[in-house]
Amino acid sequence: MNQSIRRLSVFVMALFVVLLLNVTWIQGFQAEELRESPHNTRRYLDRLREPRGPIVIGESRVAFSTPFEDGNTVQYQREYPEGTLYAHVVGTFRTTGESGIEASENKLLNGTDDRLAVRNFIDILTGEPRTGATVEMTIDPRVQRAARDGLAQLGRNGAAVALDPSSGAVLAAYSVPVFDPAEVTSVTEAEAAAARWEELSEADSQPLLNRAFNETYPPGSVFKVVTAAAALEDGATPESTQPAPAVLDLPQGGTLPNAFSGPCNGGSPDTLAHSIEISCNTSMANWALTLGEDRMREQAEAFGFGREDLEIPSPVAESVYPAGMGGSSLAQTGIGQFDVRATPLQMAMVAAGVANDGDVMKPYLVDRATDADLETIVQTTPRKYSDAVSSQTAEQLTRMMVAVTEGAEGSGRSGAIPGIEVAGKTGTAENAGPTHNWFISFAPADDPEIAVAVVVENGGGSGGTLAAPIAKSMMEAVLTG
């Protein structure tokens, strides 16, 4: 009988070993995942009890935590003094979740990031409470306000993005409609805040959506810059021509007219430069047909289309150049129609790539992070994202785009700034409903400091009249103070 008792005892010990291994798995290896689980409400409550680092834009703190007494424990309320201005890009820290930079830089802000480990260790030794890092963003308040004021004046939905072409720093990212973070982040009235968030997330106008990064639109004529880039890289010159009739008969049937119901060069073939200046549809469609789908897509991807990996660190929606098309569709993609989709950020990257001698820099929102002693713990180094075009092509594209704002027949003259050369491109994209109106630009053309993309959703006008003035005021915010 002793034999079987021994075996039984081995079995019981095996049961205990299973338990030991399992608790080790849960508490040692799975703990992190469980703590971050979306179902885990305690993580928010825990975080409400810890001072969270502020988010800084320009000289001011646009998000910070203020302590208040709740019973005998201290809790922290997240405050957003600028209200709607930075709502999308900064994000919100709520009792039921977080978004924007509050989400993507959460670990730095709450102090659990590995890069703060040494700092935290010192705090433990000196008995200081753990504090989160200060996150400094790249946003320029002047440009951001210009974007807000411009879009507010129009009273339409849309988005505006500005980049520093030489570094990729995001200078502005504004999206309409907006919401007030204060309505959804109250800790004392957590239930009302959660209900408000729920209401916003279900609204048809999608006020929570950051259109600048996470919505794609047909780019329309602003995409002609990409088509022209492909042509130049393929060996064409600004003087190379394509037939530019008033209406182009598409290879598989159907027609493609010019926006201004007439031929582009009095019926003769039109030069590439002139086609960009006046935004000629038929010649650019012919360019797309001449270049072929593969060349077109290669060029689009060189600017960042078709790449899902972009995190800045907020996630960005993928922009798409379609594949497997027939000739008619291919011709339409030459003017940014058919299934071409781009985020405003993507089109800003196109402008910035041209501005930066053909190199697209990786966009980024966080300049640096500092700990409680103002020691820098994270500093973003600008990195090249892709080689879009050669510097010669970039120069040629720049000259063509300057003609858009300054040329006698330029389609985007309202984007011009007196005394400063502005390179731009208008776009009026067909879609269900009134047209979307685009403008992309950078300035000064010879030494660009800012690249911009503006889209007005269903504006129904033209890119030159609706979007260009907003882009202009954003550029002016940097260039003329």
Partner 1 sequence: MTLFAIALTLGAMIEVSLTRNGEMPPGLFFYGGLFGGLALLAHVFIRFFAPWSDPLLLPLAVLLNGLGIAMLWRLFEATGDTDKGSASNQLVLTAISMAVFAGVVFFLRDPRKLQRYPYIMAVGAIVLLLLPLLPDPIGRTVNGARQWLNVGFTALQPSEFAKIALIIFLAGYMVAKRDALSLVNRQFKVGPVKVLGLPRLRDTAPMAFMWGFCIIVLVGLMNDLGTALLLFGTFLAMVYVATQRASWLVLGLVPFFAACYLLYFVVSHFAVRVDTWLHPFAPGNIDGPIGANSEQLVRGLFAMAQGGVLGTGLGGGQPGFVPEVQNDFIFSAFGEELGLTGVMTMLLVLALLVERGLRTALASQELFVKMCASGLAFLLGFQTFVVIGGVTRVIPLTGATIPFVAKGGSALLSSWIILALLVRMSNNARKPAPQAIQDEGATQVISR
Contact segment (CB under 8 A) with partner 1 among 13-21, 228-236, 244-252, 274-282 equals: 13-21
Q: How far is the CB of 12 from partner 1 (least distance, A)?
A: 4
Quick one: 23 or 117, whose CB is closer to partner 1?
23
- 344-355 and 391-406 helices cross at what angle (nearest 10)? 110
CB 426 within 8 A of CB 467: yes
Contact segment (CB under 8 A) with partner 1 among 5-13, 79-87, 142-150, 261-269 equals: 5-13
Measured CA to CA in angstroms, residue 404 lies from 279, 303, 463 at distances of 8, 21, 12
Cα–Cα distance for residue pair 110/51, rounded to 1 Å: 7
Residues 6+ apart with CB under 8 A from 462: 411, 426, 428, 435, 437
Q: How far is the CB of 107 from partner 1 (least distance, A)?
A: 16
Contact segment (CB under 8 A) with partner 1 among 18-26, 50-58, 252-260, 380-388 equals: 18-26
Positions 304 through 333 that interact with partner 1 (CB under 8 A): none
Which residue of the set 221, 283, 328, 462 is catalytic? 221
Q: Is 129 in the site for partner 1 (CB under 8 A)?
A: no
Q: How far is the CB of 10 from partner 1 (least distance, A)?
A: 10
Q: Is 1 in the site for partner 1 (CB under 8 A)?
A: yes
Cα–Cα distance for residue pair 411/415, rounded to 1 Å: 9
Quick one: 2 or 381, whose CB is closer to partner 1?
2
Q: Is 4 in the site for partner 1 (CB under 8 A)?
A: yes
Quick one: 44 or 260, whose CB is closer to partner 1?
44
Q: How far is the CB of 48 from partner 1 (least distance, A)?
A: 12
Per-residue x/- track, 43-82, partner 1 (CB under 8 A): --xx------------------------------------
Q: How far is the CB of 192 from partner 1 (least distance, A)?
A: 21
Start-to-end CA span in the chain (Å): 93
Q: In 3D, which of 390, 386, 383 has the Cα closest to residue 231?
A: 390
User: Which H helix or E strand runs over 224?
Assistant: helix 224-233
Q: How far is the CB of 21 from partner 1 (least distance, A)?
A: 9
Q: Is 122 in the site for partner 1 (CB under 8 A)?
A: no
Query: Exposed, middle or buried: residue 419 (CB in 10 Å: 0-12, 13-18, 19+)?
Result: exposed
CB 115 within 8 A of CB 216: no
Quick one: 18 or 323, whose CB is closer to partner 1?
18
Two structure tokens written together for 365: 């929102």
Quick one: 31 or 195, whose CB is closer to partner 1?
31
Q: Is 125 in the site for partner 1 (CB under 8 A)?
A: no
Cα–Cα distance for residue pair 406/402, rounded to 1 Å: 6
Q: Is 12 in the site for partner 1 (CB under 8 A)?
A: yes
Strand order in the sheet with 60-70: 73-79, 60-70, 55-57, 134-137, 366-370, 376-379
Positions 206 through 245 that interact with partner 1 (CB under 8 A): none
Per-residue x/- track, 331-370, partner 1 (CB under 8 A): ----------------------------------------
Is 319 a known active-site residue?
no
**Beta strand pairing status for 134-137 and 55-57?**
parallel
Q: Is 431 in the site for partner 1 (CB under 8 A)?
A: no
Concatenated DSSP letters for 315-330?
Answer: B-PPPB---S--HHHH
| Cα-Cα-Cα-Cα dihedral sign, residues 88, 211, 317, 199 | positive
Contact segment (CB under 8 A) with partner 1 among 28-36, 118-126, 202-210, 462-470 equals: 28-36
Q: Is 2 in the site for partner 1 (CB under 8 A)?
A: yes
If you search the block for the tokens 């299973």, which residue do you land on? Answer: 18
Our measurement of the distance from residue 254's CA atom to the centroid of its chain's CA atoms, rounded to an integer in Å, reads: 35
Quick one: 35 or 115, whose CB is closer to partner 1?
35
Per DSSP, what are the bridge partners of residue 170?
Answer: 163
Residue of 28, 58, 129, 257 interacting with partner 1 (CB under 8 A): 28
CB atoms near residue 272 (< 10 Å)? 26
Q: Which amino acids are annotated catalytic?
A: 221
Could you list the residues that contact partner 1 (CB under 8 A)? 1-9, 11-13, 15-16, 18-20, 22-24, 26-28, 30-35, 37, 39-42, 45-46
